[in-house]
Amino acid sequence: MADPSTDDNIATRSATELAAGIGTRQWSSRDLLDLYLDRIDRLNGPVNAVVTLDVDRARAASDAADAALARGDAVGPLHGLPITIKDAIETEGIRSTGGAVELTDHVPARDAPAVDRLKSAGAVVFGKTNAPRWSGDVETFNEIFGGTNNPWELGHTTGGSSGGSAAAVAAGFTSFELGTDIGGSVRIPAHCCGVFSLKPSFGVVPQRGYLDHVGGGTTDADVNVFGPIARSADDLDALLGVLAGPAPELAPAWRLELPPCDVTSLDRFRVGTWLDDPGCPVEREYAAKLRAAADALADAGAKVDDAHPPVEFEEQVGLFFHMVGAATSVSAPEYEGQTPRSHRDWLEAQKHRAALNQVWAEWFEQYDVLLCPVIATPPFPHVREGKIVDRVITVGDETRSLVTAVSWPGLIGVLGLPSAVVPIGRTAAGLPVGMQIVAPFLHDRRAVRAAQLSTPVLGGYTPPPGY
């Protein structure tokens, strides 16, 4: 029988495996919690993913979870799993700052609804992970906690804004994580850190409790979603089942039943690809990895065509920047130039979005999923100086604007479509890269099922060296 006190590798197993082990008493909730706390003590320093701990209360909760199992009580699907939560999400009794000095000492009196659902399913929250100020960056750093580094290569980005979340999952500091995504914030970090993530369809998971400004969390932000980051696609499936549902105030009258996906083999998937575009050219080595992944799925039986919805990349991404500028203007004054001048202006943009959504919906009548890049490049060396809109990175032999180089997630996010990110291998330099699997609106389970069936072909998660 595996023993967390002697087998450190248990920490990097999938959440579904860990939950099963608790259920069969291969290990206890307290064993796993102590293992994660020990690893954080030994390994977190250079990575700086976990920034706040709530040890005493977590130990009491883990002990209570173990006692409940011993009594034979009915338990939830996440029973006893020790987890961390992105610092931009309100968590009862634990400092939750949104990465902003204005909230340095903010301790919420209640959980965000999504956190409450995880706890109700049995998860034990023991800490918070780093995020940039108001989740407004693709680099993860702030004045309170400093910067988070990629466990694969400390000098490179984890992505953002859920960079602490993905780094903690990759390094084996937590069972799984809950992050947020308005411009790629669970997808980009999953790509950079070699893990899985799901950006659900807009509105599927309540986003109340999102700390994107002082006094935030009481209303929804356009485009934004909460989503899981984990070490397997099976984890995404389990977590979607826990997290999906109407906001609490709608629950008396509303129900959410996501369409199931009963596909059992890749040969039943019709797959389109959008692996590169002149509007955001993809770095050569990463592009080759994406092509190889698509070809591998075709060899495994999937019906893969180089076809994508008949929309212009730059037009749709331009709409994303227009609408996300409005959504983030409360906390990101640098985007004020992109903010609609009036509510009427926003409504016109909404009409544009509706027209594009119709084009995509018609395309998805012929295809089940779309494969596309996460960003234009593998994880890049840290670039944290100055405003995000002024920063540049090197993509191949070219110097590019950081904001435009990471615009692929906006292509999908502006329409509210579900997207699962899966690892597809590593570059010659040993850096992980991932791929988006996009499904039609509200067909989140199709994106997850495609990720599950793709994992044996594409390789899945492996721990970074030394973790």
Cα(231)–Cα(11) distance, rounded to whole angstroms?
11
Amino acid at 327: A
| HEC profile of 377-443 | CCCCECCCCCCHHHCEEEECCEEEEHHHHCCHHHHHHCCCCCEEEEEEEECCCCCEEEEEEECCCCC
Stated as kind and residue range, the H or E segment containing 96 is none
Supply the Cα-derived Rg of the chain in whole angstroms.
21
Distance CA 222, CA 438 (A): 19
Cβ proximity of 138 and 161 under 8 Å? yes
Q: Which residues pair with 370 in a beta bridge?
A: 272, 438
Longest CA pairwise span in the chain (Å)? 63
**Residue of 28, 29, 86, 96 with catalytic role:** 86
Q: Omega of the bond prior to 161 within 30 degrees of 0, cis?
A: yes
Q: Which of 62, 96, 175, 185 is catalytic?
A: 185
Handedness of CA 157, 161, 167, 169 (dihedral sign): negative
The answer to whether residue 329 is catalytic is no
Identify which of 465, 424, 415 has the alpha carbon closest to the alpha carbon of residue 282.
424
User: Which stretch of DSSP H or E encloses residue 232?
Assistant: none
Q: Is 161 a catalytic residue?
A: yes
- Backbone angles phi and psi of 147, in degrees to 5: -105, 150
Tell me: cis bond preceding 265? Omega within 30 of 0 counts. Answer: no
Tokens of 208: 């109340």
| Closest alpha carbon to 169 in 302, 19, 36 | 36
Phi, psi torsion values for 130, nearest 5 degrees = -70, 150
Q: Which of 14, 28, 96, 161 is catalytic?
A: 161
Residue pair 102/112 in contact by the 8 Å Cβ criterion: no
401 is catalytic: no
Give catalytic residue positions. Answer: 86, 161, 185
